[in-house]
Copies of this chain bind each other. A is one copy, B any other.
């Protein structure tokens, strides 16, 4: 009897850009059952050794750990409590790990409904992108009770090199992730503005970028998105490493939170407008370095 059998199967619902590599990573040491609304994604997962489930309910049968990697709060609600939602089929004592960035309120609502059925939610938004997901090198910030975390920890430990427990309530992970995404979104948009201004002033963006990155203007996002923005400025089509519409969603979550807590966040508000304008220009499914195209002609 292998340890994976002892620990039971893990269900992964949502096999998108992040869910699939996470599922593949977990499948290296545990039995994983995967489900996605797209049959294509399920087939892709199956080719990587994941047991294909015919439905979310099917995937979750007998699972003590269900990991959700859905797009947004609406999908989270639907997959659990919608027409084909799997929440009613969960057994008491199982845990649901929410790895998506959906905001505090969405996670708290879901957590309290699950709690009524004896199921605990582990609030565990992840960041790092698909490559780091495949390598188990994500950053995961957690809000969960000690008991729920104990059940979820073996799975989370496979996914993350950095696992930060922010608090004991569902929503604590989302709160930190919300603040994190405020900075990420503003930094990406600031990088686009800076490179657009550099170009406007007659500087060579490719030459400017390393100089900016060497000093006080440095940010992770400048280093990460900067080269792809330079590529876009030079007429290229950068590889999609992080879709622009992700930050349309995440900066919306930032504003929801700022509104709920009566905090003024004017830079994040403007950054949200820039991402939304990018989406309106048809760049939603492009790499978010496409923001620089909005600001140049």
Q: Which of A's residues lie within 8 Å of B, judged by CB?
A: 104, 127-128, 139, 141, 162, 164, 166, 172, 175-176, 178-184, 186-187, 189-191, 193-198, 200-203, 207-208, 211-212, 214-222, 224, 254, 257-258, 261-268, 270-271, 273-274, 295
Residues of B within 8 A of A166 (CB): 203, 207, 211
Please state if B178 and A217 are interface contacts (CB–CB under 8 Å). no
Residues of B within 8 A of A263 (CB): 196-197, 200-201, 295
Instruction: Report the copy number of this chain in the oligomer.
Output: 2
What is the distance, in angstroms, from A220's C-beta to the closest C-beta of chain B? 4
- Known contacts A182-B197, A203-B166; is-contact A216 B212 (Cβ 8 Å): no
Pick from B104, B179, B208: contact of A179, CB under 8 Å = B208
Please state if B215 and A201 are interface contacts (CB–CB under 8 Å). no
Please state if A183 and B194 are interface contacts (CB–CB under 8 Å). yes
Secondary structure dominating the interface of A: helix
Q: Show 12 A/B contacts (Cβ-Cβ < 8 Å), sorted by A.
A: A162-B214, A162-B215, A175-B203, A178-B201, A179-B208, A182-B194, A182-B197, A183-B191, A187-B217, A197-B268, A200-B258, A264-B295
Residues of B within 8 A of A194 (CB): 179, 182-183
Residues of B within 8 A of A221 (CB): 216, 219
Please state if A201 and B214 are interface contacts (CB–CB under 8 Å). no
Please state if A254 and B197 are interface contacts (CB–CB under 8 Å). yes
